[in-house]
Chains A and B, each alone.
Chain A
């Protein structure tokens, strides 16, 4: 691994203000038990020709190309196009495929529509099932035990920790994805957005709103402290 500090010195002059660190990017400390296991299994699979290294890199590229921006496009279109929204709620996977978003496995996608009466939030208590084909990799907190255990048993407390308070007369509906189905929350369209284009609407939709831990904020609303 090259020493970043020495490469950096050759790259450009040091005339201007220099506020970033020159510490080299290095692996610190000993790899963990699971890191060692992952490296060992991967290298064995390649050595035994069960997988090619190119296949592994390709799958990383597949997942890197999936981001919340794709989900946001789908949400924005559902907000402006009632017929698309109906198709999306009927079959999430085929509606996403209309956008050219391929699903590389056998999972189905169920889109959960938030309404004035129902607020949806998704979790996987067993592991970290998540609509990766659409949104890419889940955030770390989604994969860790506190979220996975508490969202099914005290969802409102968890939501409040994200700054989301749902009134008592609105159902908080927790979906535990343990089977072959993945979920996407279709958030409520915020008020005051009637004049926005589909692209402008998509820019409002964030990953956490499609998991259901926050609501989508309108263009003039401030972030919760």
Chain B
């Protein structure tokens, strides 16, 4: 079952989804990576902090926050990971190669905010 939106097609069962079942971003959304500096284990590389990218895909099903999991906290809320793309030229000031080049990475929901286009 992939709860991709709050609207179900007419033929599907009408159910209410739990809040965190539904991804808050969709493919095509423009997102900004947070600029936190957490103490201890982190997964979002420092080179992407504060960068703006585009959501390419929602990873299903929801997953455990791998930063919490590393401390043994592996129960409780699950949220979504999103595959996000960043043009190389937006990450590296001095990127001299093709402007087509891009970086793709999975980012956990708590690290992303919607950015106005």
**Bind each other:** yes
Q: Is the C-beta of A171 less than 8 angstroms from some C-beta in chain B?
A: yes
User: B100 near A179 (CB under 8 angstroms)?
Assistant: no
User: B97 near A156 (CB under 8 angstroms)?
Assistant: yes
Q: Is the C-beta of A115 less than 8 angstroms from some C-beta in chain B?
A: no
Q: Is the C-beta of B27 less than 8 angstroms from some C-beta in chain A?
A: no
Chain A residues with a Cβ closer than 8 Å to the other chain, count: 23
- Our pick among A110, A126, A171, A179 for the contact of B102 (Cβ within 8 Å) is A171
Binds B, one of A25-33, A35-43, A147-155: A147-155
Who on chain A is nearest to B85 by CB?
Answer: A173
Overall SS of chain B's interface: mixed
Q: Is the C-beta of B26 less than 8 angstroms from some C-beta in chain A?
A: no
Q: Complex: how many Å from CA A192 to CA B31?
A: 43
User: B105 near A178 (CB under 8 angstroms)?
Assistant: yes
Q: Complex: how many Å from CA A154 to CA B88?
A: 9
Q: Is the C-beta of B92 less than 8 angstroms from some C-beta in chain A?
A: yes
User: B47 near A174 (CB under 8 angstroms)?
Assistant: no
Q: List residues 159-176 of chain A with CB under 8 A from any CB of chain B.
A: 168-176
Min Cβ gap B117→A in Å is 22
> If A152-B103, A153-B92, A171-B102 touch, does A181 touch B59 (CB 8 Å cutoff)?
yes
Q: Is the C-beta of B106 less than 8 angstroms from some C-beta in chain A?
A: yes
Q: Is the C-beta of B45 less than 8 angstroms from some C-beta in chain A?
A: yes
Q: Is the C-beta of A108 less than 8 angstroms from some C-beta in chain B?
A: yes
> If A126-B45, A152-B103, A174-B103 touch, does A179 touch B66 (CB 8 Å cutoff)?
yes
Q: Complex: how many Å from CA A181 to CA B57?
A: 13
List the B side residues contacting A178 at CB < 8 Å. Answer: 43-45, 105-106
Q: List residues 34-61 of chain B with CB under 8 A from any CB of chain A.
A: 43-45, 47, 59
Q: Complex: how many Å from CA A156 to CA B99?
A: 12
Q: Complex: how many Å from CA A181 to CA B107?
A: 11
Q: Complex: how many Å from CA A152 to CA B100?
A: 14
List the A side residues contacting B100 at CB < 8 Å. Answer: 168-172
Who on chain A is nearest to B41 by CB?
Answer: A126
Q: Complex: how many Å from CA A173 to CA B105?
A: 10
Interface residues of A (CB under 8 A from B): 108, 110, 125-126, 152-156, 168-181
In the complex, besides A126-B43, A152-B103, A156-B101, 13 extra interface pairs with C-beta distance below 8 angstroms are A125-B47, A154-B97, A155-B97, A171-B98, A172-B100, A173-B103, A173-B104, A174-B101, A175-B104, A177-B106, A178-B106, A179-B63, A181-B81
Interface residues of B (CB under 8 A from A): 43-45, 47, 59, 63, 66, 81, 83, 88, 91-92, 95, 97-98, 100-108
Sample of 20 A–B contacts (CB below 8 Å)? A110-B83, A125-B47, A126-B45, A154-B97, A155-B97, A156-B97, A168-B98, A170-B98, A171-B98, A171-B100, A171-B102, A172-B101, A174-B104, A176-B104, A176-B105, A177-B106, A178-B44, A179-B105, A179-B108, A181-B106
